[in-house]
């Protein structure tokens, strides 16, 4: 997978997550995806990076959405705080 292919795949991940989490701002989703990509950005095998990023970002966004719903707060308060997530 080339860097361009990976970048296109990450845009698709952002779009998929934006549909799955319509109450989250696109900016917050992009931030979470970028953070998760940064966590995986160094491995020599790139083919599965977008899939792993989507999986980790989905777990974080699900947790964030639940916290937002429970508190009635804003999603922007939670983004940028690296949350502990079980890795596959």
Q: Give per-residue pLDDT as tens, 19-42.
A: 999 999 999 999 999 999 998 877
Asked if the model's pLDDT at residue 55 lies above 70, the reply is yes
Contact call for residues 75 and 67 (beta carbons, < 8 A): no
**Which residue range is the domain that position 13 belongs to?**
3-77
**Could you tell me the two tokens for 32?**
């979470």
Decide if 84 is inside a domain: no
**CATH for 27:** 1.10.8
Decide if 85 is inside a domain: no
Confidence of residue 74 (pLDDT cuts 50, 70, 90): low
| Counted domains in the chain | 1
Q: How many CB atoms lie within 10 A of CB 64?
A: 21
- Rounded Cα distance, 88 and 75, in Å: 25
Decide if 18 is inside a domain: yes
- End-to-end Cα, the chain, rounded Å: 21
Confidence of residue 79 (pLDDT cuts 50, 70, 90): low
CA atoms within 13 A on the CB side of 13: 26
Decide if 65 is inside a domain: yes
Decide if 88 is inside a domain: no
Decide if 9 is inside a domain: yes
Q: What is the pTM of this model?
A: 0.71
Asked if the model's pLDDT at residue 48 lies above 90, the reply is no
Decide if 83 is inside a domain: no
């Amino acid at each position: 997978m080339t860097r361009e292919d990976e970048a296109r795949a990450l845009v698709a991940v952002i779009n998929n997550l934006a549909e799955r989490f319509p109450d989250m701002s696109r900016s917050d989703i992009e931030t979470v995806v970028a953070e998760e990509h940064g966590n995986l950005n160094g491995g020599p095998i790139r083919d599965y990076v977008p899939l792993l990023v989507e999986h980790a970002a989905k777990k974080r966004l699900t947790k964030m959405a639940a916290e937002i719903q429970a508190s009635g707060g804003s999603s922007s308060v939670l983004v940028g705080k690296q949350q502990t997530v079980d890795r596959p």
